[in-house]
């Protein structure tokens, strides 16, 4: 609010009067003379409800830290930042100026990297589209805008938050709902509910327009969804920012229209003198002279093929930054190598070289940080192979987001089913042999191993098929548990009642019933149809209800004891710990319940001791099923065992991902990892596919690290 402070004279008395509106207190210290004009622009936290102030300030802090880290990772913060410039985009990329600025007169939006806030604030509607070619610096500029809006004086408007659009399906999900889901995923404390309304804090922030969405990567949305995306973004009636490559956005704007009430700027190519300045000032004086010689060659011999190729490559901030990393941070590389026309006959060859050399450099010369000594010395070839496998998976899913619980989805459906079938077949064969051997002697036990194997293969096939339901319709497996087991509940919604607590157990009872039914019907295949059909049907229904109960009841207990208010439960590895704790508790409960049921059901059949052994074996088998169908169990089975065994990931994938982040190859957005740039992701995927086509399946021998496995990862 604006106010003016006047000196008013009454006789010998001089006092101050305030005209205008003031929110808060006004304090005068000492004497003031003349008029003092004060301007207060309310922050989102101050203008919000009292209950939202703490989450808003926390959100502000975490967003600021994340964006500052991203800018710092690329090494373009401070006075040495690479100067990215832009101009007002062509008319077909922006809405009518009357809609944007309440005036038909265009507003000039030219600017450079350090003035992005001024450009944004010059747009009356506060709706801006940033377009630029691949590697032009759109995402980094978005982070710079976020940092500038979150200045040191506090938030002066809605909190800007970056959202990666690659996972949004506008045909099936409303944009506001998707924003809420992403906020809850990335900032766990926003999942706390308002006791009066039952709404989460994320819902309230979005509905109250206290979030400024920075929608990054419109071009990453599949082409067939562009029309719906433009419409739903246009319908959002508050400030926002969208980034995209120009061709994809131009095509969508021509088919429908540009984003409503949004201006647009287009990032320009890096000027040669700007690239020269950035490269020479970010290295030693001796290396600076080498860069001086390279740019002098580009200036004096512009018609040479090598000069034309390198000039074209150094027009994008991404390639300039990669050139700095590859040639300024390593003593064994020299900038003049980039002028070798026989080695690099095309501009694409230069780009591929920089992307390859970037991986070589960061895995050979770059210290991954304070945790560096704990990290194994993975070679660039190993890292390139494993990263290529992950990049290929992301390209198949047309997404940037990588999470630990989605790693099993990198395998083919057939592989996941066969792995589960084989494991349960072997486990059941050994379990039946052990039970019969302990109960009736070694000879009988060995005789029953074959039956157990046949039964286990049938049962494992059923479990594998049930597990695949979680991967159907575009899903990537079971989501991890976000609860923290605690007797003290802080996040409970008092209006939710038993319906909320029974919703998930009901779903799990259905899964448990299917597993139990599969268990019973496996007798048909193990005994043969003539003998086993009646047993299979009766046992299937019996064990279906029993295991459904044993599978669903622990979920009721967990829902009752789980604390939904866990502000750290969106950290990617904290989620793994939470899911592991909940899964182990549910597995133990399932084992006890099924074991007790089996003991009671068979109490008159074999005698107390044999029934006890049978109950323990059967309870353990169903407990293992519970574990295998959880997010943490899938992580152990596929990401920690099968993928390393087949050479597609290292034996310690958690540490590998952490290390890749520390080295700057990956970045983080809330609970997910992303490749530092889509161009790097695509390059690694192309390299992986070419190597796989040439050499066949990767050798596990070359991919294994010589460090023992840690079960805690």
Beta bridge partners of 159: 211
| The pLDDT of residue 518 | 66
| 530-547 burial: b if 16+ Cβ within 10 Å, else e | eebeeebeebbebbbbbb
The average pLDDT across 9-24 equals: 47
513-524: pLDDT as tens digits: 666 666 666 655
Specify whether the CB–CB gap between 362 and 664 falls below 8 A.
yes
Q: What is the DSSP string of 466-519?
A: HHHGGGSTT--SPPPP--EE-SS-SS--TTTHHHHHHHHHHHHHHHHHHHHHHH
pLDDT band (50, 70, 90) for residue 509: low
pLDDT of 409 > 90? The answer is: no
The average pLDDT across 174-179 equals: 93
CA gap 602, 600 in Å, rounded: 6
Average pLDDT, the chain: 76
Quick one: CA torsion of 65, 68, 69, 74, rounded to 10 degrees? 170
Please tell me what DSSP assigns to residue 192: P
27-57: pLDDT as tens digits: 554 555 444 444 334 445 444 566 778 888 8
**Is the alpha carbon torsion for 217, 218, 223, 225 positive or negative?**
positive
pLDDT band (50, 70, 90) for residue 392: very high
| The pLDDT of residue 350 | 95
Specify whether the CB–CB gap between 607 and 601 falls below 8 A.
no
417-465: pLDDT as tens digits: 888 777 777 776 666 666 666 656 666 666 666 666 666 677 667 777 7
pLDDT of 545 > 70? The answer is: no
Specify whether the CB–CB gap between 109 and 263 falls below 8 A.
yes
Q: Residue 675 is encoded by which pair of tokens?
A: 């490749």
How far separated are the first and last CA of the chain, in Å rounded? 53
Contacts of 372 (CB under 8 A, 6+ apart): 662
Q: What percent of the chain has pLDDT over 90?
A: 25
| The pLDDT of residue 483 | 61
Report residue 256: phi and psi, to 5°.
-110, -85
pLDDT of 690 > 90? The answer is: no
Is 53 strand, coil or helix?
Answer: helix
Specify whether the CB–CB gap between 321 and 282 falls below 8 A.
no
Is 338 strand, coil or helix?
Answer: helix
| The pLDDT of residue 135 | 84
Quick one: CA torsion of 675, 676, 681, 684, rounded to 10 degrees? -100
What Cα–Cα distance (Å) separates residue 212 from each residue in 150, 221, 319, 675, 681?
A: 11, 20, 30, 24, 28
Please tell me what DSSP assigns to residue 369: -
267-320: pLDDT as tens digits: 999 999 999 999 998 888 888 999 999 999 999 999 999 999 999 999 998 999
In the chain, the domains with their CATH numbers are 2-40 (no CATH), 46-267 (3.40.50.300), 274-314+316-337+350-362 (no CATH), 379-403+638-703 (1.10.10), 413-629 (no CATH)
Q: What percent of the chain has pLDDT over 70?
A: 64
What Cα–Cα distance (Å) separates residue 662 from each residue in 244, 362, 399, 485, 665?
A: 27, 10, 22, 31, 8
Contacts of 593 (CB under 8 A, 6+ apart): 549, 550, 553, 554, 619
310-353: pLDDT as tens digits: 999 999 989 999 999 999 878 888 999 999 989 999 999 999 99
Beta bridge partners of 241: 128, 214
pLDDT of 701 > 60? The answer is: no
The average pLDDT across 95-124 equals: 86
pLDDT of 16 > 60? The answer is: no
What Cα–Cα distance (Å) separates residue 203 from each residue in 196, 197, 571?
A: 14, 11, 20
pLDDT band (50, 70, 90) for residue 218: very high
Of 76-80, 305-309, 496-500, 588-592, where does the model show the most confidence?
305-309
Per 3-state DSSP, the chain is made up of helix, strand and coil in percentages (nearest 5) of 60, 10, 30
Specify whether the CB–CB gap between 300 and 256 falls below 8 A.
no
What Cα–Cα distance (Å) separates residue 535 from each residue in 520, 527, 532?
A: 7, 9, 5
Please tell me what DSSP assigns to residue 236: -
pLDDT band (50, 70, 90) for residue 65: confident
| The pLDDT of residue 539 | 61
CA gap 115, 102 in Å, rounded: 23
| The pLDDT of residue 128 | 95
pLDDT band (50, 70, 90) for residue 193: confident
Q: Residue 177 is encoded by which pair of tokens?
A: 């709902």
Specify whether the CB–CB gap between 70 and 76 falls below 8 A.
no
CA gap 366, 662 in Å, rounded: 10
Contacts of 71 (CB under 8 A, 6+ apart): 77, 140, 143, 144, 147
Q: What is the DSSP string of 549-575?
A: HHHHHHHHHHHHHEES--TTTTSHHHH
Report residue 546: phi and psi, to 5°.
-65, -50
pTM here is: 0.76
CA gap 231, 219 in Å, rounded: 15
The average pLDDT across 370-379 equals: 63
pLDDT band (50, 70, 90) for residue 685: very high
The average pLDDT across 624-651 equals: 87
């Amino acid at each position: 609010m604006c106010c003016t402070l006047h000196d008013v004279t009454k006789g010998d008395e001089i006092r101050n009067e305030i005209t205008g509106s003031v929110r808060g207190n006004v304090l005068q210290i000492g004497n003031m003379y003349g008029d003092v004009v004060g301007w207060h622009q309310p922050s989102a936290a101050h203008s919000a409800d009292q209950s939202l102030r703490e989450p808003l300030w926390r959100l502000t802090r975490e967003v600021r830290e994340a964006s500052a880290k991203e800018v710092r990772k690329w090494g373009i913060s401070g006075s040495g930042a690479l100067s990215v410039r832009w101009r007002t985009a062509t008319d077909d990329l922006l809405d009518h100026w009357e809609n944007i600025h309440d005036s038909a007169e265009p507003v000039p939006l030219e600017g450079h990297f350090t003035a992005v806030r001024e450009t944004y604030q010059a747009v009356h509607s506060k709706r801006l589209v940033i377009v630029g070619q691949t590697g032009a610096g759109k995402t980094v500029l978005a982070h710079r805008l976020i940092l500038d809006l979150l200045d040191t004086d506090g938030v002066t408007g809605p909190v800007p938050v970056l959202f990666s659009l690659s996972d949004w399906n506008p045909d099936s999900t409303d944009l506001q709902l998707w924003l809420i889901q992403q906020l809850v995923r990335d900032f766990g404390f926003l999942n706390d509910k308002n006791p009066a309304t039952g709404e989460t804090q994320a819902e309230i922030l979005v509905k109250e327009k206290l979030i400024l969405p920075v929608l990054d990567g419109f071009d990453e949305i599949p082409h067939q969804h562009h029309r719906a995306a433009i419409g739903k973004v246009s319908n959002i009636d508050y400030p926002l920012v969208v980034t995209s490559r120009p061709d994809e956005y131009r095509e969508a704007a021509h088919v429908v229209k540009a984003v409503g009430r949004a201006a647009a700027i287009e990032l320009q190519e890096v000027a040669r003198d700007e690239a020269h300045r950035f490269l020479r000032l970010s290295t030693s004086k001796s290396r600076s002279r080498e860069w001086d010689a390279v740019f002098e060659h580009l200036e004096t011999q512009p018609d040479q093929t090598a000069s034309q190729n390198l000039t074209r490559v150094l027009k994008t901030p991404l390639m300039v930054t990669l050139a700095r990393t590859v040639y300024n941070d390593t003593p064994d590389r020299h900038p003049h190598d980039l002028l070798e026309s026989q080695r690099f006959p095309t501009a694409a060859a230069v780009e591929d070289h920089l992307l390859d050399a970037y991986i070589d450099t960061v895995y050979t010369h770059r210290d991954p940080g304070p945790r560096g000594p704990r990290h194994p010395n993975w070679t660039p070839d190993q890292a390139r192979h494993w990263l290529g496998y992950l990049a290929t998976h992301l390209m198949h899913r047309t997404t940037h987001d990588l999470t630990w619980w989605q790693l099993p989805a990198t395998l083919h459906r057939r592989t996941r089913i066969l792995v589960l079938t084989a494991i349960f077949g072997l486990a059941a064969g050994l379990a039946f042999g052990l039970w019969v051997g302990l109960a009736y002697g070694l000879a009988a036990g060995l005789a029953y191993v074959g039956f157990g194997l046949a039964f286990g293969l049938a049962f494992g096939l059923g479990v594998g098929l049930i597990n695949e339901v979680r991967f159907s319709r575009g899903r990537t497996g079971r989501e991890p548990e976000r609860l923290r087991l605690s007797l003290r509940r802080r996040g409970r919604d008092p209006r939710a009642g038993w319906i909320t607590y029974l919703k998930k157990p009901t779903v799990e009872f259905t899964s448990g019933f299917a597993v139990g039914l599969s268990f019973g019907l496996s007798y048909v295949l193990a005994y043969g149809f003539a003998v086993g059909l009646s047993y299979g049907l009766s046992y299937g229904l019996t064990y279906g209800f029993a295991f459904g109960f044993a599978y669903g009841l622990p979920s009721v207990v967990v829902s009752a004891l789980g604390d939904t208010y866990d502000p750290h439960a969106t950290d990617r590895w904290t989620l793994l710990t939470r899911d592991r704790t909940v899964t182990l508790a549910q597995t133990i409960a399932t084992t006890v319940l099924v074991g007790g049921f089996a003991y009671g059901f068979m109490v008159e059949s074999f005698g107390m001791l044999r029934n006890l052994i049978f109950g323990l074996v059967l309870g353990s088998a169903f407990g293992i099923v519970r574990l295998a169908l959880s997010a943490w169990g899938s992580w152990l089975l596929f990401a920690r065992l099968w993928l390393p065994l087949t050479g597609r990931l290292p034996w310690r994938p958690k540490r590998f991902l952490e290390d890749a982040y520390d080295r700057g190859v990956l970045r983080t957005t809330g609970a997910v990892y992303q490749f530092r740039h889509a161009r790097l992701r695509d390059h690694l995927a192309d390299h992986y596919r070419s190597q796989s086509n040439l050499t066949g399946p990767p050798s596990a021998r070359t991919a294994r690290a010589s460090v023992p496995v840690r079960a805690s990862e």
